[in-house]
Amino acid sequence: MPQLVLTDFAPQLIWLAITFIGLYLFMSRVAIPRIANVIEQRQDRISRDLDEAEKLKKETENALAAYEQSMAEARAKAHAIAQENRDKLHGEIDAERQAVEQKISEKMAEAENRIKASKESALSEINAIAGETAGSIVEALIGKQVDKSEIDKIVAQEAQGN
Q: Which residues of 115-147 are buried (b: 16+ CB within 10 A; e: fewer)?
A: eeeeeeeeeeeeeeebbeebbeebeeeeeeeee
Q: Contact 127/152 with Cβ under 8 angstroms?
A: yes
User: Would you state the pLDDT for residue 2?
Assistant: 67
Indicate if the pLDDT at residue 162 is higher than 60: no
pTM, 2 dp: 0.44
Q: What rounded mean pLDDT belongs to the chain?
A: 89
User: Would you state the pLDDT for residue 121?
Assistant: 85
